[in-house]
Structure 1
Amino acid sequence: MKILILHNRYQMPGGEDVVVNTEKALLEANGHNIAFLEVNNDHITNPIQKAQTAINAIYSLSSKKLVREKIDNFQPDIVHIHNFFPVFSPSVYYACKEANVPVVQTLHNYRLLCSNYALFRDGKVCEDCLGKFVPWPSVVHGCYRGSRTGTAFVATMQFVHQTFQTWSRMVDQYITLTEFARNKFIQGNFPESKLVVKPNFIYPDPGQGNGQGEYALFVSRLSFEKGIETLLKAWKQLGKKITLKIVGDGPLSTLVTQAVAQGLEVEWLGHRPSNEVHQLMGAAKFLVVCAEWYETFGLVAIEAFAKGTPVIASDIGAFAELIRPYDNGLLFRPGDSNDLVAKVEWILNHSENLASMRRAARAEFEAKYTAEKNYQMLMSIYEKVLSRHKY
């Protein structure tokens, strides 16, 4: 199969980029002919470029031309779009339609429903624009990078393409990563029949760890929505009961350095390569996830499962779907450090349960999140889209 993959990479690399690269590698390993067309935001540095990008984010003629030329030269059977914002723009859908090539899109975030992509504002979940034809609350609050002007362009993109039914007419199949995310897009008036769930996966399999490290692990961007404040508050209450290793960086990194300076049982490792992160996961007693927003998936949780490491996660968004309490992990109330402390203490006081939880975590990975399982799901989606497209 000939597959053209389109992806707009952000200036700050993240999990979305990892997933795109991993899926591309999996398809190539299975003998498919892949063309990868990637753009990025690196050139957007001055006010003129930012203004031009904002206008083009609504409908970029140059991106449409670029994609149409790529289609004409490569002649793909299918186009898989991962992210079009802001450089590609929704115009790429129209290039595919004109070339009569079916389109699959993975919805890695909530950008088509929410100007800031996260359904999160002022430190809490926000659904003010969900289902609204005109997403005016986002403009009032300046949800896109704190700018009402910038948000107005994003909201205009959403409004224009809802008006022209771009989301429903131009995409043959959407992939959401969880049932939770699928339901949010249905609430946002996306056609239910075009939304199918296919989770992320780990490739290659990092292998199971032994859990012999005497520490807990947190791997995340250090920002408010990731719950770093809740995490550090909990570890202050826990005292010296267990060491917490933190991997990652971000705008709230100073909170971590302060915690270390204050003598909390915390070790900050900063950024680490993925192979080292997997080693840390495999040795950890458990992974902690403190998300306070609707994560669309939570790749870090299934990385832990692959290593056989149980996960203590906040009971919100995707994690409520990924974690089975007292089986492959535990759930705590989002933003509630006292409840997080209670769940950590439960694990520390029930060491006899850890072996079975590790087995359950690894079994969950093998049942749902291997490359082989995911490849079968992706091929089924492609084949159904191609079959429908013939008629």
Structure 2
Amino acid sequence: MKVLMLHCRYKKRGGEDLAVESEEQLLSTRGHAVFPYRRNNAEIEPFTIVEKAALPLTTVWSNKTLAEVRHFALNHQPDVAHFHNTFPLISPSAYSACQLAGIPVVQTLHNYRLVCPGTTLSRGGKPCECCLGKGIAWPAVRYACYRGNRTASGTVAAMLAIHRALGTWTKRVDLYVALSNFARDKFIAGGLPAAKIVVKPNFVHPDPGAERDVSDYALFVGRLSPEKGLGTLLAAWKQLGSKIALRIVGDGPLRRELEALVERLGLARVRFLGHLDRQAVFAAMKSARFLVVPSECYENLPMTVTEAYACGTPTIVAGLGALEEMVADERTGIHFVPGNAEDLACKVEWVWTHPRDMEEIGQAGRAEFVAKYTADRNYEMLMAIYKRAIESRQEDLPWRVN
């Protein structure tokens, strides 16, 4: 099979970029021809004043992308086009290019951008559904949900509204891939057609294995930003006193503020390790007694949980969004009440004093990884999705331009 893979990379490489690269490698190693169409948000930095002024317009519709993708599709004749991030440099014009060339379109929904200009369905670090299902996402503009900028938020809101009116989201995409059932339900509530949304999680490859050399510390891995619940995490650690060491892996806009908070609270056993490469993260997970995921937003499908499962590392997660779905309480992990530091401290103390129970939970998590999150399982699901998209487009074959 020939697959056209379209993705606009982020300036700072994150989980979405990793997921795209993993899927490309998976297809290539199974003998499929992958043709990447790439842009990178870092391209914006050297733009001239005129180019930057035009960016809001090209975010809504890029004639350059329309021509390039159509030419690319006609030259390579892919069997399917798999979209990931189109914002802001690719634009939704790429869907029309594929439709004109008769190429079936699959869109993976890595975040909530198609129903939320801020992408996370959160505001002020808490869940927010103010724009869900609205024709025009005015609240996002009012609250400057995208990067704290009303103009930028207005650009995203306009892009969503214009393409909703044009029928882009309903007519030019054959199949959407949500990462969890929770996310699927939110996209349906936001107006995407239920019949076109399937669920396929991301996967972990290569398998890091479940051999562990456990040390006495707890672990957080993720972006240091308001919606990740780090304030709740540190408040819980303050209640725990100096019993348990905590290591925080990751970086983000709150790092200095959090480091100051740790010093102010006298949390001598909390250490910030900064950004680590993936192998170092796996090593930290394999040594940790457990992983804590205190998110206070609707996570889509956090890779940290699937990676912990792969490592056989037990997890304590906020019982919210896809976390509540993917972690079975007291079977593959432990839930706590989102935003409740007292409940988190209580759960951490129980976990710390019941290592044998947590070993069993870690093993159950590993079994969950084998059942749902391996490359082999993902490949089966991906091929079924491509087959369905191709079949759904066959009635439109007269559109194909040769």
TM over 0.5: yes
Contact 1:223 1:251 in 2 (8 A): yes
SS at match of 2:292: strand
Show the counterpart of 2:315: 311
Q: Which residue of 2 aligns with 1:155?
A: 157
Structure-2 change in CA distance of 1:263 and 1:341 (3 Å): closer
User: Who is 1:51 aligned against?
Assistant: 53
2:70 corresponds to: 68
**Which one-letter code corresponds to 1:85 in the other structure?**
F
Q: Which amino acid aligns with 2:74?
A: D
| Structure with the larger RCO, 1 or 2 (CA within 8 Å, 6+ apart) | 2
Q: 225, 230, 246: which one pairs with 1:223?
A: 225
> How far apart, CA to CA, are the structure 2 residues paired with 1:67 and 1:351?
54
Q: How far, CA to CA, are the matches of 1:270 and 1:154 in structure 2? A: 31
* Corresponding residue to 2:356 among 347, 352, 377: 352
How many angstroms does 1:259 deviate by?
A: 5.0
Cα distance, 1:54 vs structure 2: 1.3
Give the partner amino acid of 2:73.
I
* Structure 1, 117-126 or 83-92: larger mean CA deviation: 117-126
Give 1:63 shift: 1.0
Find the aligned partners of 2:61 and 2:337 in 1 and give their Cα distance.
Answer: 41
- Whether the 8 Å CA contact 1:209–1:283 is kept in 2: the answer is no
Over residues 342-379 of structure 1, what are the superposed CA-to-partner deviations in whole Å (9 max), with x where a residue is unaligned? 11011112222022112101101001101000000000
2:129 aligned counterpart, secondary structure: coil
Evaluate the alpha carbon distance shift between residue 263 and residue 389 of structure 1 in structure 2; reply closer, same or farther with a 3 A threshold. closer
Counterpart-to-counterpart distance in 2, 1:144 and 1:219? 24
Which residue in 2 is equivalent to 1:106? 108
Opposite residue 17 of structure 1, the aligned amino acid is: D
| Post-superposition offset of 1:191 | 0.6
Structure 2: runs of 5 or more not aligned: 396-402
SS in 1 for 2:282: helix
Work out whether 1:265 is the aligned partner of 2:283.
no
* 1:30-41 correspondence runs (5 A): 30-41=30-41
Deviation of 1:21 after TM superposition, in Å, equals 0.4
Q: Tell me which amino acid in the other structure corresponds to 2:82.
A: H
Work out whether 1:127 is the aligned partner of 2:133: no
Partner of residue 374, structure 2: 370
> Deviation at 1:240?
1.8
CA offsets 1:126-155 (integer angstroms, 9 cap, x no match): 111101112122122222222222222211
| Match in the other structure for 1:343 | 347
- State the alpha-carbon separation in 2 of the partners of residues 100 and 387 from structure 1: 12
C-alpha separation in 1, matches of 2:249 and 2:51: 34
Q: Does residue 257 of structure 2 align to residue 255 of structure 1? A: yes
Amino acid at match of 1:37: Y
Structure 1 residues 291-338: Cα deviation after superposition (integer angstroms, max 9, x where no partner): 111111111001000000111011111100111111111111111111
Say yes or no: does 1:294 pair with 2:318. Answer: no
Query: Which range is displaced more, 201-210 or 299-308?
Result: 201-210
**1:63 touches 1:92 (CA, 8 Å); kept in 2?**
yes
Distance 1:97 1:32 in 2: 22
Q: Secondary structure at the match of 2:321?
A: coil
Q: Secondary structure at the match of 2:117?
A: coil
- 2:3 and 2:32 in contact (8 A); partners too: yes
CA shift for structure 1 position 173: 0.3
Match of residue 248 from structure 2: 246
Q: Which moved more, 1:264-273 or 1:373-382?
A: 264-273
Distance (whole Å) between structure 1 residues aligned to residue 124 and residue 262 of structure 2: 27
Q: Is the 8 A contact 1:209 1:279 kept in 2?
A: no
Tell me which residue corresponds to 1:11.
11
Query: 8 Å contact 1:120–1:126 — kept in the other structure?
Result: yes
Partner of 2:22: 22
Using structure 1 for the length normalisation, give the TM-score.
0.97
CA deviation vs aligned residue, 1:249-269 (integer Å, no higher than 9, x gap): 111111343355434311211
- State the 1:209 CA deviation: 2.9
Q: Percent identity?
A: 47
Distance 2:148 2:259 in 1: 27
Matched, 1:326 2:358: no
Number of the residue aligned with 2:179: 177
Q: Which moved more, 1:248-257 or 1:271-280?
A: 248-257
Cα 1:254–1:354 shift into 2, 3 Å: same
Distance 2:257 2:269 in 1: 14
| Residue 194, structure 1, aligned to residue 217, structure 2 | no
Displacement of 1:69 in angstroms is 1.5
8 Å Cα contact 1:247-1:268 kept in structure 2: yes
- For 2:262 and 2:165, locate their aligned partners in 1 and report how far apart those are by CA, in whole Å: 52
Distance 2:211 2:254 in 1: 30
Q: Distance in 2 between matches of 1:103 and 1:22?
A: 19
Equivalent residue letter for 1:97: Q
Does the aligned pair in 1 maintain the 2:124–2:226 contact within 8 Å? no
Asked if 2 retains the 8 angstrom alpha-carbon contact of 1:216 and 1:244, the reply is: yes
The alignment yields a C-alpha RMSD, in angstroms, of 1.3
Contact 2:238 2:267 in 1 (8 A): no
